[in-house]
Amino acid sequence: TKYDFDLAAVYVSDAQYNRNIFFDASPQAVRLYKFYNHWGLQVLIYLFIIVDLGLAAFEEPALIPDMPIWASSIVELICLMAFTARLTHYAKVIPREKFWLDPKNIFIIVIISLSLIDMIIYVGLKTAGHFGVRWSRVLRPLLLVNITEGRQLRRAFRSIRNALPQIFYVFLLFMFSVLMFSLMALKLFGKRGLETVEGIKYFTNYLEIVFDLYVLVTTANSPDVMMPAYNYSSFFAIFFIVYILINTYIFMSVFLAVVYNNYKKYLKEEVRQLVKAKRRKMLLAFSVLQQFGLGQEPVVSKAHWNQLVCLVQPGISSAHRELLWSVFDDNNKGYIGKLEFIQLPDLLNIQVITMKTRPHPLKRWFPAAYDSSTSRFVQRVVQHKGFVYIYDLIILVNAVFIGLDEENPLISNAEWVFLALYLVEILLKLYICEPRAFFSRHEFWNWFDTIIVVAALIATIFNWALSSSGGYTSRQILDIVFILRVLRLIRVVDSIKRFRTIINTLIKIGPTILTFGQLILVVYYIFAMVARIYFVVFHIVVVIIIINIFVAFILEAFFVEY
Amino acid sequence: TKYDFDLAAVYVSDAQYNRNIFFDASPQAVRLYKFYNHWGLQVLIYLFIIVDLGLAAFEEPALIPDMPIWASSIVELICLMAFTARLTHYAKVIPREKFWLDPKNIFIIVIISLSLIDMIIYVGLKTAGHFGVRWSRVLRPLLLVNITEGRQLRRAFRSIRNALPQIFYVFLLFMFSVLMFSLMALKLFGKRGLETVEGIKYFTNYLEIVFDLYVLVTTANSPDVMMPAYNYSSFFAIFFIVYILINTYIFMSVFLAVVYNNYKKYLKEEVRQLVKAKRRKMLLAFSVLQQFGLGQEPVVSKAHWNQLVCLVQPGISSAHRELLWSVFDDNNKGYIGKLEFIQLPDLLNIQVITMKTRPHPLKRWFPAAYDSSTSRFVQRVVQHKGFVYIYDLIILVNAVFIGLDEENPLISNAEWVFLALYLVEILLKLYICEPRAFFSRHEFWNWFDTIIVVAALIATIFNWALSSSGGYTSRQILDIVFILRVLRLIRVVDSIKRFRTIINTLIKIGPTILTFGQLILVVYYIFAMVARIYFVVFHIVVVIIIINIFVAFILEAFFVEY
Ligand code: NA
């Protein structure tokens, strides 16, 4: 039935995107679940979280103090309603007992409730003219971790939790080393009556020494912290060099080694869990679609398989589908067994570049003109290596022009020429390349070019309109124009093969780098909200733990991808 | 013959210590070669190099300007003579054509000659009252690389050379990123008329921006460099955060990944070469000692083998020797073949802890007293866990006393008590442990304790004698006393098992860490001598290349040892 195929397709796409959710298998829940996983809703929920987090800029102590309380409260209320709606949607998809057993859901409910209570108290206190604190802001970043889409982030947190015991012992040893060096510093410098540039007594208080030397590990107060001692005798430089060698280089490397070791060990376990969950989902899909009687074992026929694949990946070309089928059914039996069936998501995740499947629309619409000798000449020129070189040269010249003074009218007018040239480049490329292939999902640089150039064009026209109408120039718009212009120059790295390899590796691991960005955002936001940043604790959490896991990830990712 | 055994022993110890020198096999050369490898001569040559490098402190621009030119020249002359003597010794050991084909030897000859010429010119110019520069000082650290004992250092340099091409491309990309960000900074901040704290125009000169942002990667000028922009608008913090994320965290991680990747790849090749060289030496040793007729193949008899092992490792106990033999000759045939023979150096490198081989000397001299009930009680007390805990407590109390004001007579007298307690601890341990076992080569902490306590005792007595005789206290001696006292506290980490694992790993990889220390010394010395340090170049060489290789090494070493 149609429902069976829908259910199987949901299982397959769960397996394909590593979703491990035990949803309700009733027809209505399956429909709701499919809608729940729609990319639009996922983008929307992230937008609401960003808005919610961004509210901190308008709340006391405000970065931008123009917003009245009622406005920010309404915006927050809308966000909270969105989170509630999303959670309600989820509750309708999941069996009730599963829903209440999942701590993530409880967490979100608690966050929403506490935020609401806090908001009401705060608005009440403020309208009564009292002092109020928005303490619930600390909870906001935890939404990022607890929403369904926060899978990667939760994995990163688990990775941290696993590395903690080992890091703890190295950290104790590191702190012991800092304490010993501080004691030495107290005895060496404390009695010498040295003073800092500000005229404060130098290294006489033990706890202050500990703090200063801890900060020295990050080199944040270097070389200021060592100058009084160095000015007294250059031999004291040895103390600080030994300190930095031991505590910055050796200990930080040991931290990295311990974290990397743990990361590698834990990664294997995570991958094993993912593979298991994927297999489970595919077995469920198979049990829904299995047919008896065709072979000795239950199988899935080619017709059913085709229907399923079209549901899972609506845009798939029939050539691609045939290719996938031929991988499984190499004897051309017309059906596949369980073992072949469960490999489908892995094959769907492989990027197949379907070359020239569709003819260029201009060729279809004006075949004579498109194949004329002039048109062919243009196509040959655009496909020629020289075309790339000429545009690299144009970019370099553009870089020089950007560096020059933009208030010179010649320079600012030249910018129109460059914009036109870039537009022409994109149009010429579109002339030889089928538009849907040009803007396919994995063509990072085409998207990059087009977005940057179009945005620059809009911003430049807007800026020109503003300045020519009222003689008024907006610095904000100019800033955006400048940033876009400089970003356009990045394109040049794609022309050099060696650079392309490195950049492509970075682009591939980009989504996971974003996870680490979120991780740092969560930690930073909480620290920034709790009070002023406690430097040392923040340093331990971010530099020693997160950055090291990040480096460990980059190391491992580069070994695999590079 | 005696000579055959000598020759074979030299081959075996070459294999054991990874020496890959093609020495002359004549009896005289073998004797000279054995002497050449004596540890005393090796220590001596390093002492001369340290003195030679240290001369820079007394030469213009001098750290310590008291030394007259004739004195430093004589010291340098003595050093150069020592280097010449060592090289002459080497030349007598190696076949002449091999000697002249080795670039290391040519390098040393050139360094010595140039230093001599430079010294003569400099002394001549100075006595004539002219200006002179000691340009040959740049060459001094290269001695560390080119002497026979600099094997590890040369290996590290080869590792760098191998990583260079890959690092170069990442570096270009990194520089491109810095240049793009600088251009953006110029356009964003240059026209805003901002000023630094010193009242200098902020971010108006492109090259200065590039330099400032390059330095920001090291966080050396953070947060000063971003303050004017941040004070103008806190939104500009985003620019610097993105900059640090990309250029410090992502690029530095990519550097590390590329270096680590290369290091691992190259390490395998180096180990393969070492194993090959070791095998070659052992085959030579076998061909010298092989006997025919005992088995079907040429073999080495147990008697010959015993004689050889005694020559290679003079202090070896007969029990240890029997153990080694039993590993090879498990069928008790009385001889071993080539395959078993060449494994000897690997087995010799394994630390065998021969437990309680010798009775305690006090037991031999005064058996009745040593076995009396009082003596046994003392022995039990010292071996009890509580003994360690009591001394850990004493160390902690001592730490508090060190932190207090030493000018209080009670505190300074307490130091004598602590010294006495530490001395008693060592004596008690020596009472139950055979002295040669207590001071065996791998007992790091016993050596550490004894040296620190004895040195502290000498320095404290010296200081007390000085102050009680003339009322005069030398700050230098007090400094040494304080450093020794604090170092003594380190002992406490050995009591905690988790710490011991980490520390033992660090001690094991200590010699190689020293190699990296030498590497940094060589680079730093050359940069410091050439002119004032060119910050950027120095940063590239030291931070990007050497530190990353160092971290790669620590990573790999920790995976193996930890
Ligand atoms: Na700094």
Scanning A31-60 for CB atoms below 8 A from B yields none
**A443-467 pLDDT, tens per residue?**
888 898 999 999 989 988 888 888 7
Backbone angles phi, psi at A208, to 5 degrees: -65, -35
**Helix boundaries (H) for B37-150:** 39-54, 69-93, 96-101, 103-127, 140-146
Residue length, chain B? Answer: 562
Residue A336's DSSP bridge partners are A300
For chain B, the average pLDDT equals: 83
pLDDT score of B105 more than 90: yes
Does any CB of chain A come closer than 8 Å to the CB of residue B514?
no
Contact between chains at B402 and A187 (C-beta distance less than 8 A): yes
Mean pLDDT for A416-433 is: 91
Task: Please tell me which of the candidates B253, B503, B517 has its beta carbon nearest to residue A550.
Answer: B253
Among candidates B171, B223, B161, B174, which has minimal Cα distance to B196? B223
Task: Quote the ligand 1 centre to B216 CA distance (angstroms).
Answer: 9
pLDDT greater than 80 at residue B474: no
- CB contact at 8 A, A158 and A267: no
SS3 of B200-254: the string is CECCCCHHHHHHHHHHHHCCCCCCHHHHHHHHHCHHHHHHHHHHHHHHHHHHHHH
Whole-number Å distance, alpha carbon A539 to ligand 1 midpoint, is: 15
B562: pLDDT strictly greater than 60 = no
Reported as half-sphere exposure (CB side, CA atoms, 13 A), residue A7 has a value of 20
Q: Is the model's pLDDT at A354 over the cut of 60?
A: no
Cβ distance of B554 and A513 shorter than 8 Å: no
pLDDT higher than 90, residue B86: yes
* CA B319 vs CA A63, B315, B360: distances in Å: 78, 12, 18
- Radius of gyration over alpha carbons of chain A, in Å? 30
Identify the DSSP state of B291.
B
Nearest to A423, CA basis, from A459, A456, A463? A456
The reported pLDDT for the residue numbered B533 is 46
- Cβ–Cβ pairs < 8 A, chains A and B: 137
Which long-range contacts (C-beta less than 8 Å, at least 24 apart) are formed by B78-81? Answer: B78/B48, B79/B48, B79/B49, B79/B51, B79/B52, B79/B55, B80/B52, B80/B112, B80/B115, B80/B116
Residues A464 and A415: their CA atoms lie apart, in Å, by 12
What DSSP letter does each residue of A108-147 carry, written as one string?
HHHHHHHHHHHHHHHHHHHHTT-----GGGGGHHHHHHHS
* Closest Cα in chain A to B507: A250
Q: Is the pLDDT of residue B107 over 90?
A: yes
Q: Could you tell me the two tokens for A505?
A: 């590796």
Question: Rounded CA gap, A310 and A316, in Å?
Answer: 7
Instruction: Please list every residue in chain B whose beta carbon sits closer than 8 Å to the beta carbon of residue A178.
Output: none
> Hey, is the C-beta of A250 within 8 angstroms of any chain B C-beta?
yes
Residue A367: how many CB atoms within 10 A of its CB?
Answer: 11
User: What is the C-alpha separation between B522 and B514, in angstroms, rounded?
Assistant: 12
pLDDT tens-place string over residues B179-229: 999 999 988 888 888 888 888 888 888 888 988 888 788 777 777 788 888
- B168 lies within 8 A of chain A by CB: no
Q: Using the 8-state DSSP alphabet, how is residue A53 labeled?
A: H
Which chain A residues touch B62 with a CB distance below 8 Å? none
The residue of chain A nearest to residue B207, with distances taken between CA atoms, is A403
Where residue A323 falls among pLDDT bands split at 50, 70, 90? confident
ipTM: 0.78
Tell me how far the alpha carbon of residue B213 lies from the centroid of ligand 1, in angstroms.
Answer: 13
pLDDT tier at A203, thresholds 50, 70, 90? confident
Predicted pLDDT at B532: 47
A203 Rama sector, left if φ>0, alpha if ψ -120 to 50, beta otherwise: left
Map residue A299 onto helix, strand or coil.
strand
CB neighbours of A18 closer than 8 A, spacing ≥ 6?
Answer: A151, A274, A277, A278
Average pLDDT over residues A212-226: 78
Helices (H), A290-360: 302-312, 318-328, 338-341, 344-349
pLDDT, tens digit (0-9, with 9 covering 90-100), for B254-313: 877 777 777 777 778 888 888 999 999 999 999 988 888 777 788 888 888 888 888 888
Residue A532 predicted with pLDDT over 80 = no
Report whether A264 contacts A249 (CB < 8 A).
no
Chain A segment 260-279 residues within 8 A of B by beta carbon are: 260-261
Contact indicator for B239, B188 with CB cutoff of 8 Å: yes
* Cβ distance of B184 and A483 shorter than 8 Å: yes
User: Cα dihedral sign for B46, B47, B48, B53?
Assistant: positive
Q: What is the pLDDT of residue B162?
A: 81
How remote is the CA of residue A250 from the centroid of ligand 1, in Å?
20
Chain B residues touching A173 at Cβ < 8 A: 493, 499, 502-503
Is the pLDDT at B151 greater than 80? The verdict is yes
Give the nearest partner residue to A180 out of B222, B475, B486, using CB atoms: B486
Tokens 């040369």: give the residue: B154
Mean pLDDT of the A377-396 span: 90
For B514-553, what is each residue's pLDDT tens digit?
777 787 777 777 766 665 445 556 656 666 666 666 666 6
Q: What sign for the dihedral angle of Cα A302, A303, A308, A313?
A: positive
For residue B130, the distance in angstroms to the closest alpha carbon of chain A comes to: 28
Is residue A458 within 8 Å of residue A484, measured between CB atoms? no
pLDDT for res A315:
77
Render pLDDT for B326-364 as a digit per residue (tens, 0 to 9): 888 877 788 888 888 888 888 887 766 655 567 788 888
Interface list for B 176-235 with A (CB within 8 A): 176, 180, 183-184, 186-188, 192, 206, 218-220, 222, 234
- The answer, for B11 touching chain A at a CB cutoff of 8 Å, is no
Asked whether the beta carbons of residue B187 and residue A222 sit closer than 8 angstroms, the reply is: no
Structure token pair of residue A175: 């702190």
User: Which class would CATH give B361-495?
Assistant: mainly alpha
Amino acid, res. B293: G
Chain A positions touching B176 (Cβ under 8 A) are 493, 499
**In this structure, are residues B63 and B54 in contact, taking their beta carbons and an 8 Å threshold?**
no
AA letter at A303: A
- Output the CA B249–ligand 1 centroid distance in Å: 16
A172 touches chain B (CB under 8 A): yes
CB contacts of A551 in chain B (<8 Å) are 249, 253, 256
Give strand ranges (E) for A350-450: none
Cβ atoms of B144 and B524 within 8 Å: the answer is no
A63 touches chain B (CB under 8 A): yes
- Residue B394 CA to ligand 1 center (angstroms) comes to 39
Among chain A residues, CA nearest to B223: A220
Question: Which site among A167, A169, A209, A543 would you substitute to test the B interface, given the most B Cβ atoms closer than 10 Å to its Cβ?
Answer: A169
pLDDT tens track for A495-514: 888 888 888 877 777 777 77
| Mean predicted confidence (pLDDT) in B448-452 | 91
Matching residue, tokens 């040195």: B455
Contact A402 B187 (CB under 8 A): yes
pLDDT of residue B115: 94
Q: Which of B166, B182, B184 to mutate to test the interface with A (most CBs of A within 10 A)?
A: B184
State whether B554 and A260 contact (CB < 8 Å).
no
Using CA atoms, how far apart are residues B62 and B59, in angstroms rounded to an integer? 5
Q: Which position has the higher pLDDT, A534 or A210?
A: A210
Chain A nearest-CA distance from B1, in A, is 51
**Two tokens at B322?**
């029997």
Residue A126 forms beta bridges with which residues? Answer: none
